Structure 1
Amino acid sequence: MHEPIFADAVAIVDGMLDAGFKAHTIEQCAVSEAFRIHGVRIHEVKKEVMHYWRGTDKKYMHNQLDRHFSARSSDRALPFFKISHNWFLARWHKLLS
């Protein structure tokens, strides 16, 4: 469904590299521009996505995603609800792993 969009994004990245761009964000810019060209609206997900950096928190959230996907083995779609992060449960998960 989005294959043509990503093909265009790759072409944009190639063009940017050929033009000498060296920014570490060219892929993000290219994908955003390809979506814009194809009329796909992008919405901010600041309220839905939480950034986490520590390995303990990453492993906990990856486990939460794995649990979500295993419950829906035939569907690899992201959930339409927020998967909550819990500092305490992340540490508890680390101890049990």
Structure 2
Amino acid sequence: MAFQKKEKGTKQELLPSLPDDLSACLDGKFHVASNNYKVVCYNSKKGKWDDLASSTKMTSFWFEDCYCVIENVLYSVNDCTFRWYDTEVNMWRDV
């Protein structure tokens, strides 16, 4: 289900429907990923959702219940491998 906030004179976009969501706030944007490797991010300054071009790279190591964000860095762990996501080059790096 998606919610829409109504404000006088403005139109707010709906959150895209994504099953099995993962979410994190990075670079001031709210990122939401689904199990089909799609990632969208909400830019509150622009008030809109954008598809993230590097979706498959970001979701390749982003696991449910095995991730966190510390000081604007996304970390994830799986099979004893601990990685962080480098948003500048769109790739996971070993810690």
Say yes or no: TM over 0.5.
no
- Structure of greater Rg: 1
Higher relative contact order (CA 8 A, sep 6+): 1
TM-score under structure 2 length normalisation: 0.29
Return the structure number with greater strand share. Answer: 2
TM-score under structure 1 length normalisation: 0.28
